[in-house]
Structure 1
């Protein structure tokens, strides 16, 4: 029975991740890019300006304390979930299986997918609702309010809670305990208990505490990792031109042509780069909008921009840092090394033995922040399914159980089912945002118009003609200007 189930799940994952999802994400990403007139590039400077404003005003205004979290904190929550062990181990797997050219396709999918991230996060802001902690929202909410399809939202909520709230959190703990056992010889059970204890402290404090914790962890982990990568780059500065040449040639099969073969090798390169990029930045997957909805902003497009920047941060910055460390070290040529072992070996060859310890600590920060971010996605959707606090407490207990389970066990069928659930969840979300995209484009047009007039853009329910079932945008313009 188990082997039959495993076979069904495996075939489902192959169909979803090798054909359906990749086609949907690329085609819709291109559609959103052209319809928004290349929003991810046109407003790149504006994204940094808004992020800077959000960071300087974080947890400072009375309005923000009373209502949602700051725009910067929402960015940190989504980045916490996006930036996980996949940025260290996943990129290494892509290079070991697909070659250096996989990095190019990873970049390309991020540039295209950023437009999808803009659309879904803007919609999450438009259709968010108020709760006692501030705001919550995401795909389930815009499926119910924007499409009038609550059943669709219920299915999505169940899928994201099972995959992100439970299984992916177990995966993150599993990676942490393995890394610390290898680097420091710490017993996995002991490490699992410590992680579980810290998780209790954070998640029982609600979204505000989650926001404060990730606001501290995310910048530290990202900056530290990028600085080490920059050290490796500077150390090998003369090799940078040949590095980019290697990536481009391998990406288009030019090296394989010279070597006498292309076909399968090129397909492997493209598929691994695209899949790793999609897994890593989650653009269009329906996860980040749950964080985007929590922010207090004067216009939904502001958080759409912030979350678009999150895609660049994850893939163009963090994933590229890992790729450069591996390729500049030459460790990818070694046989038998893949995943986190390849990243550890590559960094150690460049900075010395402390590289192993540094990677272990990075995994701790990256993975723990992912546990917190993933947990919140589940919490938001539990609230959609049933607002009774008893269900939230049950959910929290189950999350803690899965965190501990992941520390000491690994059942492959569980991880494979999580991939299947995430794939199905992504398909549902992509259908929804395709149907609602005209609303996101109208909001962008309104934002651009107000910016051209020299205003700090403010959104109300009347900003888009015919907009219905919107709860949080009835405030007066004066109130919104204080956001």
Structure 2
């Protein structure tokens, strides 16, 4: 076997036989341990997540305005987290889940997202408690609550190194490659142009990302606050148009989702097991991979928020899972199921979604999806860069930031001009490796999470919040 085969084999064990079940178990644990907060306090998610976006700005003196300008509110932190969560997986990953696990996978994707809300609540709350303000910015995340809360510096260093490689370098190469492929396919240019177009895209994308990340946290959160709500809304509206066009098939679609989610029929194609087994496997995996609950990535964004209580940002983080999986992933799923793009075809991943939008809107649908894919992947690059930078600061201080920025821009250029299967597999490997220390930490620190949650509820009942 070559290197790619070994990495694939390792990833098969890491994800399919281990991490998927651990992530699901941690979600079940926190949901029960905290008393189903995602259901009991569903309204608080939206109050704390979207309230700051509509809050009127009160008149303040000059010094207060300057101080406020440097603070990140809970909505900006949410936008940055969703920027990282919503990526190519929301388009291609959902298609793969349906094609492999059947339409019943969507039901189990919803279940896993509901459980993931409990996990991500713990991550965001701990990130708030152990964050640090230094070098003119806020730093936080698993490396900080592992070293300060769990008091295990070697494990924190392992996490920091893994996430720098997983998201900042290898992961951003994958996202850049998706952008390059989407643009080339949508333009449909001749062979001569196709040869050098990826190089032009690579240079342009690396420069664009460089301009954004050189502005630091403030610029990234400002752009995320503007772009993320817009891109999410446009994509969801486009999917709603498809629902309207196929309105007569919608009841049957939901009936199929529920019936196949619990079907005991034998799986098609000679696969061992029932339809339900594969629906659970691929639905749960899609939900967990997409919203990143338990992975240790989004706590970095939630650490930046200035809130009155750590638990408030926990509710905001739960809203991020809702937006990513229940709204955006479901939008993709509905378009694919209603148009039947996953049936009787050899298409895979993003190509299935492209076919679905093409059936609904013609060639305009392919262009629409290419634009959506660009924004999804670009905002993911911004979010992942920021998460990587926080861990660079943790390991090397402010002196490691500029070299890291240059490396990220180089990785983005390389990702546009070639697509190595090994790079895609390594992204999964490092994602798994960074999740392990984070999961250890949030389970061991669970009593602290419940204490903060209980204290929040006491303050809420007393009218203090």
Under TM normalisation by the shorter chain, which class is it? over 0.9
Structure 2 residue corresponding to 1:83, chosen from 82, 86, 90: 86
Q: What is the rounded CA distance, in whole Å, between the counterparts of 1:397 and 1:160 in structure 2?
A: 17
Aligned residues: 453
- 2:447 is aligned with 1:449: no
Structure 2 gap ranges (5+): 59-63, 190-196
Q: What is the rounded CA distance, in whole Å, between the counterparts of 2:319 and 2:114 in structure 1?
A: 10
Cα shift readout 1:309-329 (whole Å, capped 9, x = no counterpart): 101110000000000000011
Alignment of 1:304-343 (within 5 A): 304-343=314-353
- Give the drift of 1:214: 0.9
Are 1:26 and 1:113, in contact at CA under 8 Å, matched by a contact in 2?
yes
Cα shift readout 1:372-394 (whole Å, capped 9, x = no counterpart): 001001000001101142x1111
- 2:441 is aligned with 1:432: yes
Q: What is the rounded CA distance, in whole Å, between the counterparts of 1:182 and 1:40 in structure 2?
A: 41
Structure 1 residue corresponding to 2:176, chosen from 173, 177, 181: 173
Alignment of 1:6-21 (within 5 A): 6-21=4-19
Aligned to 1:55: 53
Aligned to 1:147: 150
Cα shift readout 1:329-352 (whole Å, capped 9, x = no counterpart): 111113112211111111121223
Are 1:214 and 1:369, in contact at CA under 8 Å, matched by a contact in 2?
yes
- 2:117 is aligned with 1:114: yes
Are 1:92 and 1:342, in contact at CA under 8 Å, matched by a contact in 2?
yes
Cα shift readout 1:73-130 (whole Å, capped 9, x = no counterpart): 1101110010001101110111111111111111111111110000011000000000
Q: Decide whether aligned partners of structure 1 residues 132 and 257 sit closer, same or farther in structure 2, where only a CA change above 3 A counts.
A: closer
Are 1:133 and 1:208, in contact at CA under 8 Å, matched by a contact in 2?
no
Q: What is the rounded CA distance, in whole Å, between the counterparts of 1:432 and 1:59 in structure 2?
A: 38
Aligned to 1:27: 25
Aligned to 1:468: none
Q: Decide whether aligned partners of structure 1 residues 261 and 400 sit closer, same or farther in structure 2, where only a CA change above 3 A counts.
A: closer
Are 1:100 and 1:247, in contact at CA under 8 Å, matched by a contact in 2?
yes
Q: What is the rounded CA distance, in whole Å, between the counterparts of 2:11 and 2:454 in structure 1?
A: 38
Q: Decide whether aligned partners of structure 1 residues 348 and 38 sit closer, same or farther in structure 2, where only a CA change above 3 A counts.
A: same
- Give the drift of 1:47: 1.3
Q: What is the rounded CA distance, in whole Å, between the counterparts of 2:427 and 2:341 in structure 1?
A: 31
Are 2:263 and 2:274, in contact at CA under 8 Å, matched by a contact in 1?
no
- 2:358 is aligned with 1:355: no
Structure 1 runs, 4 residues or longer, greater than 6 Å off? 58-61, 257-262
SS in 1 for 2:181: helix
Q: What is the rounded CA distance, in whole Å, between the counterparts of 1:305 and 1:58 in structure 2?
A: 21
Q: Decide whether aligned partners of structure 1 residues 255 and 237 sit closer, same or farther in structure 2, where only a CA change above 3 A counts.
A: farther
Structure 2 residue corresponding to 1:206, chosen from 192, 211, 216: 216
SS in 1 for 2:149: helix
Aligned to 1:217: 227
SS in 2 for 1:135: strand
Cα shift readout 1:392-423 (whole Å, capped 9, x = no counterpart): 11111000000000001112122212211111
Are 1:161 and 1:382, in contact at CA under 8 Å, matched by a contact in 2?
yes
Structure 2 residue corresponding to 1:416, chosen from 425, 431, 445: 425
- 2:211 is aligned with 1:193: no
- Give the drift of 1:237: 2.1
- Give the drift of 1:234: 2.0
Q: Decide whether aligned partners of structure 1 residues 376 and 182 sit closer, same or farther in structure 2, where only a CA change above 3 A counts.
A: same
Q: Decide whether aligned partners of structure 1 residues 260 and 422 sit closer, same or farther in structure 2, where only a CA change above 3 A counts.
A: closer
Q: What is the rounded CA distance, in whole Å, between the counterparts of 1:71 and 1:124 in structure 2?
A: 13
Q: What is the rounded CA distance, in whole Å, between the counterparts of 1:287 and 1:258 in structure 2?
A: 36
Are 2:267 and 2:274, in contact at CA under 8 Å, matched by a contact in 1?
no
SS in 2 for 1:141: helix
Are 1:89 and 1:339, in contact at CA under 8 Å, matched by a contact in 2?
yes
Q: What is the rounded CA distance, in whole Å, between the counterparts of 1:395 and 1:268 in structure 2?
A: 40
Alignment of 1:119-130 (within 5 A): 119-130=122-133
Q: What is the rounded CA distance, in whole Å, between the counterparts of 2:427 and 2:311 in structure 1?
A: 31
Q: Decide whether aligned partners of structure 1 residues 68 and 325 sit closer, same or farther in structure 2, where only a CA change above 3 A counts.
A: same
- Give the drift of 1:261: 8.7
Aligned to 1:36: 34
Are 2:264 and 2:274, in contact at CA under 8 Å, matched by a contact in 1?
no
Aligned to 2:375: 365
- Give the drift of 1:267: 2.9
- What TM-score, normalized by structure 1, do the two folds share? 0.90
- What TM-score, normalized by structure 2, do the two folds share? 0.93
Aligned to 1:284: 294
- Give the drift of 1:254: 4.4
Q: What is the rounded CA distance, in whole Å, between the counterparts of 1:238 and 1:260 in structure 2?
A: 33
Are 1:59 and 1:69, in contact at CA under 8 Å, matched by a contact in 2?
no
Q: Decide whether aligned partners of structure 1 residues 173 and 271 sit closer, same or farther in structure 2, where only a CA change above 3 A counts.
A: same
- Give the drift of 1:150: 1.0
